[in-house]
Amino acid sequence: MSAARVMSRVKNRVAALFAVLVLAVTAACTGGGGSSTSSTSPSPRTGGATHVLAVKIDNVAPARPHTGLEKADVVYVEQVEAGLSRILAVYSSDLPPVIGPVRSARETDLELLRQFDRPTLAFSGAQSRLLPLIDRAPVDAVPPSKAPRAYFRGQDRPAPHNLYLRPERIPFKASGVDAVAELGLRVGAAPSGGEPEDSRTVRYPSASVTFTWSAEGERWLVSLDGAPARTAEGERIGAGTVVVQDVDVRESDFRDRSGNNTPFTETVGSGDAVVLRDGRAYEARWSRSSADADTVFSTPDGRRVDLAEGPLWILYAPRG
């Protein structure tokens, strides 16, 4: 065989191997026969990669102070069993090394999170009847059973209020983009009008959240059940904008271990809202046409309500 033919065969084999390698890398990046992960899916709102982590956080006295809550872009507060409240914190722009205490998910979370593009959901667990719904929901669920190395028990408080998440150990990476962009919201000038507001309290049957305006800090200082909310380092937790959203809260098909019904918060629909920003309160309306749609906040005359700089807190307040 001539040297030229030998060289030709070598080149052909190298080319074939290179083609196989390219195909393998492409399949790996796209998930092969399955779907791609949420961390690389394009966002129809921001045009970039979707990187949103939602963590279900305990909100009773033994669970405080919270760890990493101050780094959340969006903080939702909803009613749970026995009239208590629980937090769903959403991260994207920044990620603390530890978040918690982490608690169990609720049916309300699944509808609420449809506003984001397949978020990662970290939670301690859920009722056995709810788990199939979570599996079918458009979320990437990472409870301890799926990511055992990402969770640990703290020694400074009793269970179940001592489970913490190390987010660097789950398939998630912060995007550096504020999660409010995924909600179709933006930072901008305050609407005209409004009334001066020093403090606003949202009450649940067995819990409360109070926001007090700090002109010096240019933010709303948060208090939970009458006590100042603080970080693990002792600093006050604050919000740039607060939205109090009047919603219907009804019984669901689920109960806790003590037999208490798990309330379902209806986040699809419309109703009144109050927006707190810059030391003023603005009457507003909220509207969400379907579970796949964003929630739109507008003034009574139909103009969009923009946000102030800083974390956004949204409280689902039971009507009536």
pLDDT score, position 255: 75
Rounded CA gap, 146 and 158, in Å?
23
**What residues form DSSP beta bridges with 264?**
250
Closest CA to 197 of 217, 220, 216: 220
Model pTM?
A: 0.85
pLDDT score, position 8: 40
Q: Which residue type is seen at 286?
A: W
pLDDT score, position 45: 53
Rounded CA gap, 107 and 212, in Å?
31
Each residue of 222-260: pLDDT tens digit?
999 999 999 999 999 999 999 999 999 998 888 777 777
pLDDT score, position 276: 98
Are 97 and 166 contacting, i.e. CB atoms less than 8 angstroms apart?
yes
pLDDT score, position 320: 73
| Locus of tokens 């660097």 | 168
pLDDT score, position 256: 74
Query: Residues of the chain whose pLDDT is less than 70?
Result: 1-50
Closest CA to 56 of 113, 3, 136, 116: 113
pLDDT score, position 257: 73
Q: What is the phi/psi pair of residue 109, to 5°?
A: -60, -35
Are 252 and 111 contacting, i.e. CB atoms less than 8 angstroms apart?
no
